[in-house]
């Protein structure tokens, strides 16, 4: 391909970034690299970032293929956007608008081989390069406001996925449906950008996965969480990272006061951490002018 070095042109001792067989965005708008894009989203996931992830994981191809590694990464990312269709149809969307005479038309087998060749490593590395709060994330009193929460999602029905993640139990005598994984994330409020994430077996609960995420916490952060996370061990780990917390707990949670404050909140202990307990009645205006009220018990280090 014009402007791109071949494997024979690679010089030892010279940084791969300046002689990679992955062409720069400017020099690869046509040919094998042309499908490597996500439309307007390419501004966020740039070719330079994808190339860096490939180099860091040793997945740069040694020669220019019909499906270069950079293009395969964009194919994987596009597959996450178009979850209801197969990879051949995803490919058709990547090459839409390109000259059919200049781009490949790989079959299902070629696409599968390319996906296996690149593997999951570059996507993990790309996530590590992109994760973190974006400009515009919500702040309160100078603290970066974050939230931890979990969800579950179906994954393709394969024996490997079923063994790794498990299935949702539909009846007492049988499992049903597709394999399902559990996903837990910490996001920056306001922008909802992901700061860190972990996923695994559906059979494992959120509070078991949570400690794997707490390493991203640091001073200057305020972590919000629902009552499932009001576990003493988690509160201690969050506090040990010198991050602040505001967590809802169950109304019946017994938190004996060690000091009552003038605003009718009180200090209590959760393990080694002193927390402030707030009994709050919160009103929310809903459609039609009605108001919904609810009682919440909150614990915080603020």
pLDDT in tens, the chain (302 residues): 334 444 344 444 434 333 333 444 444 455 788 888 888 788 888 999 999 999 999 998 887 778 899 999 999 999 988 988 999 999 999 888 888 878 888 899 999 999 999 999 999 999 999 898 887 889 999 999 999 999 999 988 889 999 999 887 766 666 668 899 999 999 999 889 999 999 999 999 999 999 999 999 999 999 999 999 999 999 999 999 999 999 999 888 889 999 999 999 999 999 999 999 999 888 888 887 888 888 899 999 99
Handedness of CA 173, 153, 50, 130 (dihedral sign): negative
pTM: 0.78
pLDDT at 173: 63
pLDDT at 58: 92
Does residue 257 contact residue 299 with C-beta atoms inside 8 Å? no
pLDDT at 252: 84
Phi and psi of 254, rounded to 5°?
-85, 115
Q: Which of 133, 150, 172, 284 has the alpha carbon at shortest distance from 227?
A: 150
How far is residue 41 CA from its own chain's centroid?
A: 16
SS (H, E, C) the chain: CCCCCCHHHCCCCCCHHHCCCCCCCCCCCCHHHCCCCECEHHHCCCHHHHHHHHHHCCCCCCCCCCCCHHHHHHHHHHHHHCCCCCHHHHHHHHHCCCCHHHCCCCCHHHHHHHHHHHCCHHHHHHHHHHCCCCCCCCEECCEEEEEEEEEEEECCCCHHHHHHHCEEEEECCEEEEEEEEEEEEEEECCCCCEEEEEEEECCCCHHHHHHHCHHHCCCCEEEEECHHHCCHHHHHHHHHCCCEEEEEECCCCCCCCCEECCCCCEEEEECCEEEEEEEEEEEEECHHHCEEEEEEEEEECC
Does residue 224 contact residue 147 with C-beta atoms inside 8 Å? yes
pLDDT at 148: 96
Give dist(CA 259, CA 277) in Å, integer.
10
pLDDT at 210: 96
Q: Cβ–Cβ contacts within 10 Å for residue 50, how many?
A: 26
- Assign residue 30 a region: left if phi > 0, alpha if psi is -120 to 50, beta otherwise? beta
pLDDT at 205: 93
Tokens 């394969």 belong to which residue?
A: 158
């Amino acid at each position: 391909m014009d402007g791109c070095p071949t494997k024979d042109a690679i010089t030892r001792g010279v940084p791969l970034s300046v002689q990679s067989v992955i062409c720069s965005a400017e020099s690869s708008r046509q040919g094998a690299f042309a499908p490597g894009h996500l439309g307007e989203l390419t501004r966020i996931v740039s070719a330079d970032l994808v190339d860096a992830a490939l180099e860091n994981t040793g997945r740069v191809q040694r020669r220019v293929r019909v499906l270069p590694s950079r293009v395969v990464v964009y194919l994987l990312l596009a597959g996450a956007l178009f979850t209801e269709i197969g990879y051949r149809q995803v490919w058709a969307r990547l090459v839409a608008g390109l000259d059919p005479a200049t781009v490949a038309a790989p079959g299902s087998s070629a696409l599968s081989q390319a996906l296996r060749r690149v593997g999951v490593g570059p996507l993990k590395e790309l996530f590590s390069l992109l994760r973190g709060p974006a400009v515009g994330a919500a702040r309160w009193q100078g603290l970066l406001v974050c939230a931890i929460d979990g969800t579950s999602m179906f994954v393709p029905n394969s024996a490997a996925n079923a063994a790794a993640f498990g299935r949702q139990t539909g009846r007492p005598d049988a499992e049903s449906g597709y394999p399902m994984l559990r996903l837990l994330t910490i996001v920056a409020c306001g922008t909802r950008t992901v700061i860190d994430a972990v996923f695994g077996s559906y059979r494992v609960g959120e509070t078991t996965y949570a400690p794997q995420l707490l390493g991203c916490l640091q001073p200057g952060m305020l972590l919000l969480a629902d009552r499932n996370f009001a576990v003493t061990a988690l509160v201690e780990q969050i506090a040990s990272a010198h991050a602040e917390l505001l967590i809802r707990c169950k109304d019946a949670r017994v938190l004996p006061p060690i000091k009552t404050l003038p605003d009718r909140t009180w200090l209590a202990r959760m393990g080694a951490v002193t927390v402030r307990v707030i009994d709050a009645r919160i009103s929310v205006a809903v459609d039609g002018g009605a108001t919904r009220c609810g009682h919440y018990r909150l614990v915080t280090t603020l």
